[in-house]
Amino acid sequence: MMRNFISLNNFTLNEINKLLYLADIIKKKPQEFEDDLKGKHIGLLFEKPSLRTKTAFYLGALELGADSVYYTPEEVNLGVREEICDVARTISGYMDAVVLRTFSHDTILEFSKYSSIPIVNALSDLFHPSQIIADILTIQEYKGELNKLKVTYIGDGNNVCNSLIYAFSILGGNLNISSPEGYTPLNDILEEAGKHCKYSGGEINITKSCIEAVENADVLYTDTWTSMGREDEEEKRKNVFKDFQINDKLLSYAKKDCIVMHCLPAHRGEEITDSVIDGKRSVVFLQAKNRLYAAKAILRYILVE
Ligand code: CP
Ligand code: NVA
Question: Across-strand partners of 262?
Answer: 222
**In terms of Cα–Cα distance, which of 44, 55, 91, 108 is closest to 265?**
55
The continuous run of DSSP H or E covering 154 comes out as strand 150-154
Taking the CA of residue 130 as reference, the ligand 1 atom at the shortest distance is 3
Tell me if 161 sits within 8 A of 221, measured CB to CB: no
What pLDDT shows up at residue 305?
79
What pLDDT shows up at residue 89?
98
Instruction: Give the Å distance between the CA of 38 and the centre of ligand 2.
Output: 31
- Of the pLDDT bands very low, low, confident and very high (cuts 50, 70, 90), residue 185 is very high
CA 281 centroid distance within chain: 21
Tell me if 127 sits within 8 A of 105, measured CB to CB: yes
The mean per-residue pLDDT over the stretch 62-68 comes to 98
Q: Which residues are catalytic?
A: 101, 128, 131, 223, 263, 291
Structure confidence by residue, pLDDT tens digits, 8-53: 999 999 999 999 999 999 999 999 999 999 999 999 999 999 999 9
Alpha helix locations (H) across the chain? Answer: 13-28, 52-63, 73-76, 84-94, 105-114, 129-143, 159-171, 187-200, 210-214, 234-240, 248-251, 274-277, 284-303
* 8-127+291-303 shares its CATH topology with 131-287: yes
Report the alpha-carbon distance of residue 275 to residue 186 in Å, rounded. 32
Instruction: State the average pLDDT for the chain.
Output: 98
Q: If 0-12 CB within 10 Å is exposed, 13-18 middle and 19+ buried, where does residue 278 land?
A: exposed
What pLDDT shows up at residue 156?
98
What pLDDT shows up at residue 263?
98
The continuous run of DSSP H or E covering 174 comes out as strand 174-178
Instruction: Phi first, then psi: give them for residue 292, nearest 5 degrees.
Output: -60, -45
* Ordered DSSP codes for 90-137: HHHHH-SEEEEE-SSHHHHHHHHHH-SS-EEE---SS--HHHHHHHHH
The mean per-residue pLDDT over the stretch 75-99 comes to 97
Residue type, 48: K
Residue type, 183: Y
Structure confidence by residue, pLDDT tens digits, 228-267: 999 999 999 999 999 999 999 999 999 999 999 999 999 9
What pLDDT shows up at residue 198?
98
Among 53, 124, 132, 164, the mutation site with the greatest number of ligand 1 atoms within 8 A of its Cβ is 53
What pLDDT shows up at residue 278?
98
Asked whether the predicted pLDDT for residue 155 surpasses 90, the reply is: yes
What pLDDT shows up at residue 257?
98
Structure confidence by residue, pLDDT tens digits, 93-129: 999 999 999 999 999 999 999 999 999 999 999 999 9
Measured CA to CA in angstroms, residue 85 lies from 47, 64, 88, 91, 116 at distances of: 16, 29, 5, 10, 11
Count of Cβ atoms closer than 10 Å to residue 207 Cβ: 16
- Do β-strands 219-222 and 203-206 pair in parallel, antiparallel, or remain unpaired? unpaired
Report the alpha-carbon distance of residue 4 to residue 6 in Å, rounded. 6
Domain edges within the chain: 8-127+291-303, 131-287
What pLDDT shows up at residue 135?
99
CATH class of 8-127+291-303: alpha beta
Among 124, 159, 263, the mutation site with the greatest number of ligand 1 atoms within 8 A of its Cβ is 263
What pLDDT shows up at residue 1?
79
Instruction: Give the Å distance between the CA of 93 and the centre of ligand 2.
Output: 30
CATH number for region 131-287: 3.40.50.1370
